[in-house]
Homo-oligomer: A and B are copies of this chain.
Amino acid sequence: MTRFKLQVEYDGGPFVGWQRQDTGLGVQQVVEEAITAFSGETVRVHCAGRTDAGVHARGQVAHFDLVRDDITVKTVRDAINYHTKPHPVAILQAEVVDENFHARFSAVEREYLYVILNRRARAALSHGRVWWVPGPLDAAAMHDAAQVLIGKHDFTTFRAAVCQAQSPIKTLDELSVTRFGDEIHVKARARSFLHHQVRNLVGTLSAVGFGRWTKADLKRALEARDRSAGGQTAPPDGLYLMRVGYDEHATGAKPFVSEDVGAEDE
């Protein structure tokens, strides 16, 4: 048996989310069916972060096992990309990893990007890829306030009611807010997040950006440990799972290196 690790990019727009659902197509199903199409094996693909409907990924990580031992990582990557057409899902990289590696449980860091389009005119080129906020937001005030959330806290205020995590206590390592022209980028980094945590943090920070909330209001909301003390949930369109970090020594990942692998390996 060989365990493969994948780096996956997708446009979340047409999907019900990562996971298989009865209500529509999940990214998981697209990838699993592509693997079956070239390998003949029925597989279960596990991911690092089960993104919701409409949430995008540039660096989702997943793993699966094949019984056949005659398939190279190059074949895995190119064959999944061939068979996932025409869906907006692309395998950026494939590696063989140790059988102890688990995309979700071995992950030691997740990084999300949330993109707000902050201008009067609605999105034309970035429709479905941003949260359009027409009124002016103060990105510097949002960044300053966000720093009260850094560190180990009970994040119940920013946790979805349906969240299945055993504990609401998480350690937020980074929450930075930066303006680039008419876009505001919110970068969130932690070992793991609660369900809807990033979208709830961004929605609440928008109240600071509008000047309705102060940094002290944000701190009080956190300390209330009550979802109703927090702000709105930002829409999924602006959220991207960018990167998942692993301790390489612990997982035994063996990176695939080949001269014909193309530009993505530079």
List chain A positions with a Cβ less than 8 A from chain B: 9-11, 56, 58, 77-78, 81, 85, 88-92, 118-125, 127, 129, 134-137, 182, 261-264, 266
Contacts and interface: CB of A to CB of B under 8 A. Distances in A.
Contact of A125 (B11, B77, B81, B127): B11
Given A89-B124, A124-B89, A124-B90, A119 B10 contact: no
Contacts of A118: 263
- Residue from the set A10, A81, A85 with the largest chain B CB neighbour count within 10 Å: A81
A81 B264 contact: no
A241 to B, nearest CB: 12
A9 B263 contact: no
Copies in the complex: 2
A10 B121 CA distance: 11
Contact of A92 (B11, B119, B137): B119
Nearest to A82: B122
A122 B81 contact: yes
16 contacts: A9-B124, A10-B124, A10-B125, A11-B127, A58-B125, A81-B121, A85-B122, A88-B124, A90-B121, A91-B121, A119-B263, A120-B261, A120-B262, A120-B264, A125-B129, A135-B263
A77 B121 CA distance: 8
A122 to B, nearest CB: 6
Contacts of A10: 124-125
Contacts of A134: 262
A129 B58 CA distance: 16
